[in-house]
Amino acid sequence: MTRIAILDDWQRFARIAADWAPLESRASLQFFHSPFRDEDEAAAALAEFDIIVAMRERTPFPATLVSRLPRLQLFAFTGARGGKIDFAALLARGITIACTDGSGGEPTAELALGLMLSAVRRIPAGDAALRGGRFQEGVSPGFTLKGKTLGVIGLGRIGSLVAGYGAALGMQVLAWSRNLTPERAQAAGARFASRDELLRTSDIVTLHVVLSDETRRLIGRAEIAAMKQGAVLVNTSRSGLIDQAALLEATNAQRIIAAIDVYDTEPLDPADPIRSARNTVLTPHLGYGSVETLQTYYRQSIENVLAFLDGAPIRVISADPNARRH
């Protein structure tokens, strides 16, 4: 019988997100609720599976792991692009790759807004104080967003949504990216600014660009130093956009506040220094993972696998989608 591995169900939501019965009548399913410790453990666990259903941006699939999966015929992943997946290696092996629709951007944009509000109004500190038997003691006042400046770096689908939220709150919205024009910024309700002006004048800076060789460490020590004292830096995109050592220095010195949803290694190592960093609001990569998005991901993944079993694959990828980011 065909064996199917459903990976990366760290929130234990896959089972109730969609109807797996049509697949269970035709194949043996195994759900994996914990991350693999390393590539060796992943290879040993997955070597006997014919089909893998993987959540984007969770388990890495480098070429070295792909080469150790002799029975793999279909790699079905959620979303349309995955930076941790070596698609070229899968295609070279003749493995069919199927994707799903994306989230549309709203879940990540809304989480970015939530992180902003949590940071500026000290919501996590207030929650911890109340649960610790205190009331307002030890919780400093936050600031009002109306009249403040929001700097959006990257004005694509998600960045444009966040810009709209800022405008709705009465904020002045600035935007910058390497290829952004004043006209495109204005169409999204923002004013085009240089990166230097945006960093220098924004009360909140939020990142919404794809990680690439050109954008890696886009925000380094100099950029953080240029930000206002007490400004908030929000990252729901990719950890590699920020120099992590510089970020920790600035937050621990209480120069800025960081509101972060993405990390170099996920799940986050228990010893990672960001866990104990001051002036931070942290969430465990919740950005795209709303109920509605995950329901779509799993429903379409089931459709993809059933179509493959019927000999008529759908939503097939025939070229490396990661190449579009360069």
Q: 43-76: per-residue pLDDT in tens?
A: 999 999 999 999 988 999 999 999 999 999 999 9
What ranges do the domains of the chain cover? Answer: 2-103+290-325, 106-282
Q: What is the pLDDT of residue 301?
A: 98
**How would residue 324 be classed by pLDDT, with cut points 50, 70 and 90?**
low
Per the annotation, the verdict on 39 as an active-site residue is no
Point out the catalytic residue in the list 266, 299, 315, 325: 266
Active site residue 197: no
Q: What is the average per-residue pLDDT within 89-105? A: 94
Catalytic residue among 81, 208, 238, 303: 238
Q: Tokens for 89, please give them.
A: 């290696």
When pLDDT is cut at 50, 70 and 90, the band that residue 322 belongs to is confident
| Residue 320 pLDDT | 83
CA–CA separation, 234 and 269 (whole Å): 21
Residue 174 pLDDT level (bands cut at 50, 70, 90)? very high
Amino acid 56: pLDDT: 86
Q: Using CA atoms, how far apart are residues 322 and 38, in angstroms rounded to an integer?
A: 23
Sheet hosting strand 27-31, strand order edge to edge: 27-31, 2-6, 51-54, 74-77, 96-98
> What was the pLDDT predicted at 325?
46
The yes-or-no answer to whether 2-103+290-325 and 106-282 have a common fold is yes
Query: Residue 294 — very low, low, confident or very high, per pLDDT cuts 50/70/90?
Result: very high
Sheet holding 280-282, edge to edge: 191-192, 172-176, 149-153, 204-207, 232-235, 257-260, 280-282
Domain 106-282 coded CATH 3.40.50.720 = yes
24 among known catalytic residues: no
**Residue 204 DSSP class:** E
Q: What is the mean pLDDT of residues 126-151?
A: 96
Q: Which residue has the tokens 């986050």?
A: 268
Answer whether residue 104 shows pLDDT above 90.
no
Question: Quick one: which of 297, 228, 222 has its CA closest to 58?
Answer: 297
Instruction: Tell whether omega for the bond before 284 is within 30 degrees of 0, i.e. cis.
Output: no
Chain mean pLDDT for the chain: 96
Q: Which fold has domain 2-103+290-325?
A: Rossmann fold (3.40.50)
Catalytic residue among 58, 208, 285, 303: 285
Q: Is the pLDDT of residue 26 over 70?
A: yes
Q: Are 237 and 209 in contact (CB under 8 A)?
A: yes
- Encoding tokens for residue 192? 């085009």
- pLDDT of residue 326 exceeding 60, the answer is no
Q: How far is CA 312 from CA 80, 149, 303, 316, in A?
A: 19, 51, 11, 10
Share of the chain above pLDDT 90, in %: 94
